[in-house]
Structure 1
């Protein structure tokens, strides 16, 4: 098990948590662009507007230089830099539980019924 400090550090950034939520539910690998678009949409309260190119680039840069290296070092995430694709290959049981709980708190529409029930949410 990773130390509890490592796990909480991993979840200490909203953008990193959003990346983990998306990777956890993805079927296979996803592109950096796809991940950045989804994160931007979540951060902007699911806005349907087109993403301004400067904002899109900013999300990609923070992912590539800050969040993805931290995720990659703390979890089983494969990051193919040649093709700009990533996929999650596993989380520790502790990290998986915490990820499910934080997702249910931040994005209840995506959470599973078991976690919502445990949190007392309908």
Structure 2
């Protein structure tokens, strides 16, 4: 194997890892993956938005809590497309579900959070 081929392969791996870390860098996207992991079937966008709102209201005290409509828009236009491009979720007529890669990623960061001394809570 030539050095050039090895460099190209490593560069592709780096881009893939960077893309995955970028997708997992957002709390809302990580919560979506966790929620989908705990669901037995595909989840409709409105149900997913309501779950995200309940989770976010439980985490912070804000004067302006997100509405399910605003969260659904955010999920539809920003978060779900990024998760799909990364191969972590897929959308069908039945709703949103995890791919095998998404289930593996959700399992990995859930295990890592459980091992943190603060129980996985953000500072």
Category of TM-score, reference length = shorter chain? 0.5 to 0.7
Matched, 1:15 2:15: no
Cα distance, 1:94 vs structure 2: 6.7
Matched, 1:66 2:67: no
Q: String of CA shifts for 1:5-53, please: whole Å, max 9, x gaps.
A: 1221011111111111111111011111111111001101179xxxx8x
Q: How far apart, in 1, do the equivalents of 2:102 and 2:43 lie?
A: 21
Partner residue of 1:78 out of 83, 90, 96: 90
RMSD: 3.0
Structure 1 residues 92 and 42: alpha-carbon distance in aligned structure 2, compared to 1, 3 A threshold: closer
Per residue, is there more strand in 1 or in 2?
Answer: 1
Higher alpha-carbon Rg: 2
Q: How far apart, in 2, do the equivalents of 1:63 and 1:29 lie?
A: 15
Cα distance, 1:119 vs structure 2: 3.6
Unpaired segments of 5 or more residues in structure 1?
Answer: 105-115
Q: Number of aligned pairs? A: 102
Per residue, is there more helix in 1 or in 2?
Answer: 2
Structure 1 residues 76 and 46: alpha-carbon distance in aligned structure 2, compared to 1, 3 A threshold: closer
Secondary structure of 2:58's match? coil
Q: How far apart, in 1, do the equivalents of 2:57 and 2:78 lie?
A: 20
Q: How far apart, in 1, do the equivalents of 2:47 and 2:99 lie?
A: 18
